[in-house]
Amino acid sequence: MVEYIAFDADDTLWHHETQFSEAHAKFELLMQEYLTGSYDSQYLFDTEIRNLKHYGYGVKSFGLSMIETALELTDGRISPEHIRFLVNVTKEMLAAPVQVLPEVEAVLDELSGDYPLMVITKGDLLDQESKFVRSRLSEYFRCIEVVSEKDPFSYSRILRRHRIRPENFLMVGNSLRSDVVPVLEIGAQAVYIPRRQTWGREYVQMDEPRPRLYVELEHIGQLPEWLEARQLAA
């Protein structure tokens, strides 16, 4: 039986990747002022991935990676004024309004009456907490847990801390890599609700066709009905 439900935040509860896509687009426009050849967006992605071990996830990390990539791609010709533009893009991302995804609030309203809910998200601590408050969704949740990496270890630690048994825990999110695979690995359950835009880093290689241990829903609005059927069957 599901007794405790946790939701991923970015691109599960609110828009996230759109903001990064927009920043990538601004970055591309800027680079085109400098480059003679065509701009390859892979450069910025590669810098982001390379810097993950230094910076971790989040907007500040992205900002520092934009600046680094700009310096590399322009061979140091980028103007200081344009560096300042990139700093400002970073700050605007941190202050941008949080756009809650469709049907999220209705689903949380319904489920929070029957289950304790929590948010488990990775990224910048202050940024995630601030978005949680700005989203106005915090009243539906018992707590928010911000982790530096969503792996089996971090999920286990959260469950232990809240005295939840894995078999009673359900994770809902848009990333197989972060919200589904590590959750299945500790013996808990997961609902996968893909978003059209998912960051390259979030894709997971499934080595072999494995039995569907998780359910995939098209839309968060389908969650309450699925859950009800699931509980009746249990």
Closest CA to 52 of 119, 127, 122, 121: 122
Strand, coil or helix: 196: coil
Q: List, as own/partner pairs, every contact residues 75-82 make where C-beta atoms lie below 8 angstroms and the sequence separation is at least 24, other chains included.
A: 77/34, 78/34, 82/30, 82/33
Strand, coil or helix: 10: strand
Q: How far is the CB of 89 from a copy of itself (least distance, A)?
A: 12
How many Cα atoms sit within 13 Å of 181 on the Cβ side? Answer: 14
Show the tokens assigned to 197: 């835009």
Q: How far is the CB of 233 from a copy of itself (least distance, A)?
A: 33
Give 93 or 188: the residue with its C-beta nearer to a copy of itself: 93
Distance CA(96)–CA(172), nearest Å, equals 25
Angle between helix 80-95 and helix 59-73 axes, rounded to 10 deg: 160
CA–CA distances in Å: residue 92 to residues 87, 96, 142, 180, 227: 9, 6, 29, 31, 38
Distance CA(130)–CA(126), nearest Å, equals 6
Radius of gyration of the chain (CA): 19
Give 79 or 231: the residue with its C-beta nearer to a copy of itself: 79
214-233 positions binding a copy of itself, by CB under 8 A: none
142-171 positions binding a copy of itself, by CB under 8 A: 146-148, 161
Give 71 or 229: the residue with its C-beta nearer to a copy of itself: 71
Q: How far is the CB of 193 from a copy of itself (least distance, A)?
A: 25
Give 74 or 198: the residue with its C-beta nearer to a copy of itself: 74
Q: How far is the CB of 74 from a copy of itself (least distance, A)?
A: 7
Q: Which of 17, 68, 105, 202 binds a copy of itself (CB under 8 A)?
A: 68
Q: Which of 91, 136, 165, 201 binds a copy of itself (CB under 8 A)?
A: 91
Choose one: 11-19, 60-68, 173-181, 184-192; the region binding a copy of itself (CB under 8 A).
Answer: 60-68
105-134 positions binding a copy of itself, by CB under 8 A: 124-127, 129
Number of residues interacting with a copy of itself: please give it, by CB under 8 A.
34
Q: Which residues bind a copy of itself (CB under 8 A)?
A: 54-57, 60-61, 63-64, 67-68, 71, 74, 76-81, 83-84, 87, 90-91, 94-95, 124-127, 129, 146-148, 161
